[in-house]
Structure 1
Amino acid sequence: MTSKVRIRLWSTNIEHLNEVTTNLVDIAKKAGVRIKGPVPLPTKRLVVPLLRLPHGEGTKVYEKWEMRIHKRLVDIDADERVMRQIMRIRIPDDVYIEVELLR
């Protein structure tokens, strides 16, 4: 019996994220199941402005540190065999994954 699975992936490293999503898509295509995605969701930018001088005197010079969080969404109509293959994918430490069963 097939069930619909929604997989959310997010990472600060876009190369690792794209690698994992292509692995997911390849497994689904080889198994012949229906797949929707990967859908790129909006990138979240976290910006932290810091005063460059530690004592606060003189001209106000700021440094900006930025971290971008990239997200992808994949829907798969998967059976148990495909889900076992998906669970065996090697995922780097900086890629986070969330699996949700829809049906």
Structure 2
Amino acid sequence: MPKVRIKLNSTDIEMINNICESIKDIAKKSGIVISGPVPLPTKRLKVTTRKAPCGDGAATFDNFEMRIHKRLIDLPANEKVLHHIMRMQIPKNVNIKIEMKD
């Protein structure tokens, strides 16, 4: 039976968890069993910059960090469930990728 793999990633962990809960609710109402959401490793992007724009003065630095959170959900291919998932309102800062697997 073919399976659907849904990959989610976002910088906002609350939004990605809300989307995962919505997908779980849709699957539960339809009576299908899903595996996930599986939390994948969080990617941490770090940038260190110097505070002084001209280079004079004490060497002080600013550290900035952005975290990219990822989730993975597998579920059986069901046309009704996929239709509901594709009709969901997804925020702009949440990326979603849906793949069909055999």
TM-score tier after normalising by the smaller chain length: over 0.9
Gaps spanning 5+ residues in structure 1: where? none
| Alignment correspondent of 1:20 | 19
| Alignment correspondent of 2:78 | 79
SS of structure 1 residue aligned to 2:29:
helix
Q: TM-score, normalised by structure 1?
A: 0.95
Q: Distance between the aligned counterparts of 1:93 and 1:15, measured in 2?
A: 14
| Alignment correspondent of 1:92 | 91
1:101 and 2:93 correspond: no
Root-mean-square deviation over aligned CA pairs:
0.9
| Alignment correspondent of 2:39 | 40
Stretch moving more, 67-76 or 78-87 = 78-87
SS of structure 1 residue aligned to 2:54:
coil
| Alignment correspondent of 1:5 | 4
Q: CA deviation at 1:97?
A: 0.3
**Aligned amino acid, residue 12 of structure 2:** N
**Aligned amino acid, residue 25 of structure 1:** K
Q: Distance between the aligned counterparts of 1:82 and 1:53, measured in 2?
A: 54
Conserved in 2, the CA contact under 8 Å of 1:33 and 1:78? no
Q: TM-score, normalised by structure 2?
A: 0.96
Q: Distance between the aligned counterparts of 1:79 and 1:44, measured in 2?
A: 31
Q: CA deviation at 1:78?
A: 2.8
Percent identity between matched residues is 50
Q: Distance between the aligned counterparts of 1:83 and 1:16, measured in 2?
A: 20
Q: Distance between the aligned counterparts of 2:19 and 2:2, measured in 1?
A: 21
How many residue pairs match? The answer is: 102
**Aligned amino acid, residue 53 of structure 1:** A
